[in-house]
Amino acid sequence: MEEDDTNFKYHYLDYDIGGDEMTGISPGITSTLPTKQDWDNCRVLVKFLKLFYNATKGFSGSLYVTTNCFFDEIVVIENKIQQLINRKEDLFLSSMAKKMKEKFDKYWGGVDKINLLVYIAVVLDPRKKLKYLKFCLSQFLEETIVNEMTSKVNNCLIRLYEFYASQDSVTVEVPSASKASKLEVDDDCDDPHALIAFQFSSYLEEEYSSVCKNEVEKYLGDYCEGAKDVMFDILAWWKVNSSKYPALSQLACDVLAMPISTLASESAFSMGGRILDPFRSSLSPMMVEVLVCAQNWLRSSLPISLRKAMDNVEEFEKQCEKENQVDLEAEC
């Protein structure tokens, strides 16, 4: 770029007009063009900032669940910060990462700083559950802190489940094989090996039923499902398994309904200022709400673009500033 673009080179020229008589430095022109080390730092920073861009883009989604995916992004960002801290050969990046780590720990660095509901959303993801939470926390925290945090999340989940179960008077027992089904297999099955295998399966179910006292224990004790499914739909999974976990599925629907970011809703309702302009100022609040919601519903099949939404918000703010300026000038 230095050889091909004269404007690029001109931008980094530093004109020293006066010079310095004390040091004997004469007036001249010095170049502050980026060095190879500067470009290397830029490459690292671009990859690092892309993590924040992807996280913001994922959190601002409106057509899928976002509460359960925040933890993945947080773990990835913390892992990258730690990698930059360990770059002892690059003091610039290492010192920058240490300051970011201090800021990161301010919000995510202790038991008393966690929001239990968003951690419970991670546990209610059948692909992850409590084991995933414990595994990720163990990558950065001491064992005692990890055990304390996971225990706190587990206790909160049990309390929420007990509340939902008491509200709907739901008493759940882990289903086991009935005697009728055993007799039916005994009469119809001619293969002794299949008979023994079925009886052993029934025995395991009965043993499992005696160990699991409620839906939470059963859910956490089951294998994680859908971990390799790219198109996994968490809400569809809870709908299918609502008969298996009636109270827990209601809890999951309420917790997973929370958006991890309010950007989507803010961008939807920021159009209210454009609807209620000076030429339509007589619209009632109810009519404005109807227009905003109708437009949002009509566009519900299209995903919200983060960049477009932010551009609309900025354009609206600029328009408001111009109108305020015009009003001030008119008053003066």
CA geometry: angle 57, 61, 66, nearest 5 deg: 100
Tokens found for residue 59 = 């959190």
Give the integer Cα–Cα distance in Å for 135 and 146: 9
Contact indicator for 258, 117 with CB cutoff of 8 Å: yes
Give the integer Cα–Cα distance in Å for 100 and 77: 10
Give the integer Cα–Cα distance in Å for 8 and 4: 9
Contact indicator for 149, 114 with CB cutoff of 8 Å: yes
Contact indicator for 64, 231 with CB cutoff of 8 Å: no
What is the predicted pLDDT for the residue at 44? Answer: 82
The total of other beta-carbon atoms located within 10 Å of residue 304's CB is 18
Tokens found for residue 317 = 């703010």
Tens-digit pLDDT string for the chain (332 aa): 777 777 777 777 655 444 444 444 445 556 677 788 888 888 888 888 888 888 888 787 777 788 888 888 888 888 888 888 888 777 888 888 888 888 888 877 666 676 888 889 999 999 888 888 888 888 877 888 888 888 888 899 999 999 988 886 544 444 443 443 444 445 555 666 666 776 666 666 665 555 556 788 888 888 888 777 778 888 889 999 888 888 999 999 899 888 887 765 666 556 556 666 666 677 788 887 888 778 777 766 665 565 566 666 667 667 767 777 776 777 66
**Helices 91-108, 36-59: inter-axial angle, 10-degree rounding:** 20
Nearest residue to 38 via CA among 99, 95, 93, 98: 93
Nearest residue to 82 via CA among 139, 22, 131, 120: 139
Give the integer Cα–Cα distance in Å for 70 and 38: 32
- Full DSSP string of 29-84: EEE----HHHHHHHHHHHHHHHHHHHHHHHHT-SSS--GGGHHHHHHHHHHHHHHH
What is the predicted pLDDT for the residue at 251? Answer: 92
Give the integer Cα–Cα distance in Å for 268 and 275: 12
What is the predicted pLDDT for the residue at 184? Answer: 45
Contact indicator for 212, 174 with CB cutoff of 8 Å: yes
**Helices 116-123, 143-168: inter-axial angle, 10-degree rounding:** 80
The amino acid occupying position 98 is K
CA 68 to chain CA mean position, Å? 6
Nearest residue to 61 via CA among 238, 251, 300: 300
